[in-house]
Amino acid sequence: MPDSSYLIDEIRDMLLDCGLFNSLQPSEVLTAAGYFNISRFEPDAIICHEGDAGTFMCIIHFGAVSICKTNSSGETVEIAKLRKGRAFGEMAVLDGERRSASCIAVSDCTLLILARDSLEKMLQEAPRSAAQVIRAIAVAMSRRLRMVDGQLVEQQI
């Protein structure tokens, strides 16, 4: 069983590898790493269901995840396939609302998990690092929203 400092170093390396937290100082990434966990999922494992309480976010370190929504006819539609470095569940971890989509492992997956209560704990114990983590998440969500806005405009033409 690895000791906790080894695990935190492993999570720090995974966080640095994903690119989401490139704007953070190395010490902030190391601090943040102590609030993340690693989870592994086999193919077809359901990571979360649309409508579930949003209690965590994930960053894909290895593998691929399918993001699916149920349409008005009750059919499941894949809206995205995410791979290494991509995050999902950020909206739920920030606002606590229910999941807007289901997330299913497409392959063996290794995910970094940040639980909502861990983020709250980080805000109390390491507010500067927590603020930088939240800012990095917000910037990534903003980029994604701008991309979707652009796609919607192109569909209107």
Task: Name the domain count of the chain.
Answer: 1
Give the pLDDT confidence of 117-155 residue by residue, as tens digits. 999 999 999 999 999 999 999 988 888 888 776 666 666
Q: How far apart are CA 5 and CA 10, in angstroms?
A: 9
Give the pLDDT confidence of 44-98 residue by residue, as tens digits. 999 999 999 989 999 999 999 999 999 999 999 999 999 999 999 998 888 888 9
Q: Look up the CATH number of the domain holding residue 30.
A: 2.60.120.10
Q: Would you place residue 6 in the very low, low, confident or very high pLDDT band (cuts 50, 70, 90)?
A: confident
Please check the confidence at residue 104 and state whether its pLDDT lies above 60. yes
- 143 φ, ψ (degrees, to nearest 5): -60, -45
- Give 57's DSSP letter: E
Domain of 78?
Answer: 4-156
How much is the pTM? 0.88
CA distances, 27 to each of 31, 34, 84, 109, 132 (Å): 6, 11, 23, 27, 11
User: In this structure, what token pair is assigned to residue 117?
Assistant: 């209560």
Please check the confidence at residue 42 and state whether its pLDDT lies above 50. yes
CA distances, 51 to each of 68, 70, 77, 80, 101 (Å): 12, 10, 15, 17, 7
